[in-house]
Structure 1
């Protein structure tokens, strides 16, 4: 790639992965308060899979550049930005725009990546890690000796949740397809086959008094079982609606239904709590507080990665121009961890 050329991948509309378009242009410049990041690693998360179908509840209108997060090196700092940032490796949460060789962001949004962590390793725990950390510690407040149920325990968020919960001293029950059970057992997880087993019955066998927290990205009717499996004082954290990924119709309706259930459950006279987790909550009301919390929590995640409490699960690494293949692989359900793209 020419040093003065930018490459980005465009999602033009509701297309198959092969419909993604590669666009080339001039490298952007940093404005006041901004930095240019030369991307080293970005990835395919469930959000991009939903966006490709037009199913992500607040995605921008087509066409746009997807890419929920990235890790890279600051190549230029604009006016008012500490020039010492240039040359440092940072991570940033974007929602869209990460599938590009160069990205312009507000300098206040970048989080330093510690020495000794590669770009690909760090990438696996940006959106996945911050989601897992905040759900576990800010919402469910899981403590040592508790038992938690993690749906999709082999996935991007799920695998980080499993490790963070274990680092906190919790016992973990995880749902996954059978092909991932051996790996989960090696990590000390009690696996359940969500296709071939009666999940609620199996969870009750493993935790007769109920579980202290459930982390549910599936949504749909199964969210009711997740609620019923809670022990008194337990917490349900819903953070997606994977079961409706391929549905037609309104993309907001599945989320609105989840929000309605959460409101109703919390209005009932019981000792359990439910949350619908959105990593962007509070950004519009208090951006400086949002940034500070994000920086604090992602720094904790990087420290956990550095000390070995969590490990980076890289499913595959492909070039940015191979985004179509990466999307296919991420959607196949055959890999564990995160599919990473590099410039």
Structure 2
């Protein structure tokens, strides 16, 4: 079984198909999928707003956790029956997938597959941004936009674990969750977010993690303290855009180039900006291994908003569109 996105529109454009993955070729493995995450990337793909997404029709699914069922020629270091995770970008919403053996990451046997799936893309994204991009240190104050989301809830936990004070934007209904995570909540639907953040951190913040993009980036940059960093890792604002998907990203590149030039000329108060994009490779494997260890030890707890059968993928995307969930939605095959 596989879930096929047939065209642009809403969740009704998803179809359940009997298709499945073939046998693995050289250097590849076949995996029976146990759980796959649902992300905002798939919401953008519905609207044809995600960078370089495949042409319709295609199978979505950014990541997966499952069990190896077949080894292709030349594969070593893995065994049939082993639980692994993989970052696929698309194609994970199937009962079976074929992926390069070099890209899979072993999953601790004690981790529930749904919990493990909730930290594959989201956990690596949060871990790398906190530790490798922002390099968060004790005593700093950071701002996390969308702090109650799948990435946001992990970002705030990792930033707090690194010793930072965390401010987080979310709707008022999600503030109790944020407080339980040690976050000082800011309601993005009521009043001015920049004014509310300045009231809490008059000197500015050391880092802003911005998944919104678009015009929100200017506000995020203005909230930085001297030497602070703005990390753009999403483009939720593009759902409201019209025209070619690339247009808003060109505007962001121009804006970032201006800020980088100001920094080089000594006019940016030492502030810097960075794009972040999760991708497979040795650094992904290293980060996910660390994230799994933290999750297994109970030091990182991904809130799971809902677990749904794979065939209910349309319902999962509608929940994300409604904006009422906190944490991660997981599809289970």
> TM-score scaled by structure 1?
0.93
Q: Identify which of 296, 301, 310 aligns with 1:311.
A: 301
Q: Contact (CA 8 Å) 2:21, 2:98: kept in 1 or not?
A: no
Matches within 5 A, 1:128-207: 128-207=122-201
Evaluate the alpha carbon distance shift between residue 55 and residue 106 of structure 1 in structure 2; reply closer, same or farther with a 3 A threshold. Answer: same
CA distance in 1, matches of 2:251, 2:108: 40
CA distance in 1, matches of 2:312, 2:251: 36
Q: Give every structure 1 segment of 4 or more consecutive aligned residues whose post-TM-superposition deviation is greater than 6 Å.
A: none
Partner of residue 89, structure 1:
83
Q: Contact (CA 8 Å) 1:330, 1:338: kept in 2 or not?
A: no
Partner of residue 327, structure 1:
317
Partner of residue 285, structure 1:
none
**RMSD of aligned Cα (Å):** 1.2
1:115 Cα offset (Å): 2.3
SS in 2 for 1:116: coil
Partner of residue 275, structure 2:
276
Q: Identify which of 313, 316, 328 aligns with 1:338.
A: 328
Please say if 1:18 is aligned against 2:18: no
Q: What runs of 5+ residues in structure 1 fail to find an aligned partner?
A: 1-6, 281-289
1:16 Cα offset (Å): 1.9
Q: Contact (CA 8 Å) 1:159, 1:337: kept in 2 or not?
A: yes
CA distance in 1, matches of 2:147, 2:166: 9
Q: Contact (CA 8 Å) 1:232, 1:272: kept in 2 or not?
A: yes
Q: Contact (CA 8 Å) 1:262, 1:276: kept in 2 or not?
A: no
1:83 Cα offset (Å): 6.9
SS in 2 for 1:85: coil
Q: Contact (CA 8 Å) 1:184, 1:191: kept in 2 or not?
A: yes
Partner of residue 51, structure 2:
57
Residues 300-325 of structure 1: CA deviation (Å, up to 9, x unaligned): 11112112221021111111111111
CA distance in 2, matches of 1:323, 1:70: 14
SS in 1 for 2:318: helix
1:85 Cα offset (Å): 2.1
CA distance in 2, matches of 1:231, 1:27: 50
Evaluate the alpha carbon distance shift between residue 179 and residue 264 of structure 1 in structure 2; reply closer, same or farther with a 3 A threshold. Answer: same
Evaluate the alpha carbon distance shift between residue 37 and residue 255 of structure 1 in structure 2; reply closer, same or farther with a 3 A threshold. Answer: same
CA distance in 2, matches of 1:132, 1:141: 12
- How many pairs does the alignment contain? 328
CA distance in 2, matches of 1:27, 1:209: 54
Partner of residue 3, structure 1:
none
SS in 1 for 2:281: helix
Q: Identify which of 261, 275, 282 aligns with 1:292.
A: 282
Partner of residue 32, structure 2:
38
